Copies of this chain bind each other. A is one copy, B any other.
């Protein structure tokens, strides 16, 4: 049941290629993002929505980083292939998240759809031009980058911890971002998780069964995890 057929019936119906640049004037009255978020609002006005099937590449490492991306539905991973052939995942991006915040001329990571995904694509130059005129937008864009920086710094702290700690932290992070109550639906495979945490798939799997045996979590389906004892996970997490 991995097909994602539904055409969303909300404000975002446009499926134009991202080569276009200008915003259609007609979008203004549609139920866009809240006015409390001028950046989000502007992005929706300026961007084009693209659909990507599962595992499709959104952009490649070393491609010019001319666009910024916002996940509308589905989920996305960024990654890099290391010279020894291993894959390091840079991050997972869920509905509402913005990715492609690179700063050089080129992307330093590749991006792929984990599940079928709809992604809002915004020309970077348009956004920075707007930021130049609008201080509020500029500040929001800046804050966004700051949050990304913090997120990456936290990853560094993660990567020096034990396997249990990494997996526990990962689950808590996903619970914050993608849970309904204590039920976490993971869009990504074990391999994705392993490559994100710098572990092997076997270690991730074993750690999950270990956490299950200590009643910290339940794993009714491999992609569904129920947090039964957050404080135990938090203790591991440190």
A residues in contact (CB < 8 Å) with B: 80, 82-84, 86, 88, 90, 101-104, 108-109, 132, 135, 138, 141-143, 145-150, 152-153, 155-157, 159-161, 198, 238
Contact = CB atoms under 8 A, between A and B. Distances in A.
23 contacts: A80-B157, A82-B160, A86-B160, A88-B156, A88-B160, A90-B153, A90-B156, A101-B149, A102-B146, A103-B143, A103-B145, A103-B147, A103-B150, A104-B150, A109-B153, A132-B135, A132-B138, A138-B138, A142-B142, A145-B145, A145-B149, A152-B152, A156-B156
A158 to B, nearest CB: 9
Given A148-B149, A160-B88, A238 B83 contact: yes
Nearest to A142: B142
Nearest to A80: B157
Number of copies: 2
A82 B162 CA distance: 12
Contacts of A159: 156, 159-160, 198
Contacts of A149: 101, 103, 145, 148-149, 152
Contacts of A132: 135, 138
A150 B108 contact: yes
Contacts of A82: 157, 160-161, 238
A5 to B, nearest CB: 34
A154 to B, nearest CB: 8
Contacts of A88: 156-157, 160
A198 B161 CA distance: 9
A109 B148 CA distance: 16
